[in-house]
Amino acid sequence: MNNVRQSPSVLIFDSGIGGLSVYDEIYKKMPNLHYLYAFDNEMFPYGDKCAEVIIDRVTSVIETITKSYSISLAVIACNTASTICLPSLRSKFAFPIVGVVPAIKPASQISRNKCIGLLATKATIQRAYTTHLIQEFAKDCTVNLLGLSELALIAESKLQGNAVDILQLKKLLQPWLSLPTIPDTIVLGCTHYPFIKDELQKIFPHTTFIDSGNAIASRVYNLLNEQYDLSKEKASLTNNIVLSTIYNQYVEKLISKFENYNLNKYQTIKI
Q: Measured from the CB atom, is 156 or 184 closer to ligand DGL?
A: 156
Residue nearest to ligand DGL (CB): 47
Q: Measured from the CB atom, is 108 or 130 closer to ligand DGL?
A: 130
Q: Pattern of binders to ligand DGL over 124-163, x per CB under 6 A?
A: x---------------------------x-----------
Q: What is the CA radius of gyration of the chain?
A: 18
Task: Choose, by CB under 6 A, the member of 18, 99, 183, 194 that binds ligand DGL.
Answer: 18
Angle, CA 269 vertex, CA 91 and CA 256 arms, to 5°: 120
Q: Measured from the CB atom, is 9 or 80 closer to ligand DGL?
A: 80
Task: Choose, by CB under 6 A, the member of 37, 44, 95, 195 that binds ligand DGL.
Answer: 44
Task: Choose, by CB under 6 A, the member of 80, 130, 240, 245 that binds ligand DGL.
Answer: 80
- Give the active site residues: 78, 190
How many residues touch ligand DGL under the rule CB under 6 A: the total is 17
Instruction: Please report whether residue 21 would count as binding ligand DGL according to CB under 6 A.
Output: no
User: Residue 123 CB, nearest distance to ligand DGL (Å)?
Assistant: 7
Question: Distance between CA 35 and CA 146 in Å, rounded?
Answer: 33
User: Residue 209 CB, nearest distance to ligand DGL (Å)?
Assistant: 15
Q: Pattern of binders to ligand DGL over 183-202, x per CB under 6 A?
A: -------xxx----------
Tell me which residues touch ligand DGL (CB under 6 A). Answer: 14-16, 18, 44-47, 78-80, 121, 124, 152, 190-192
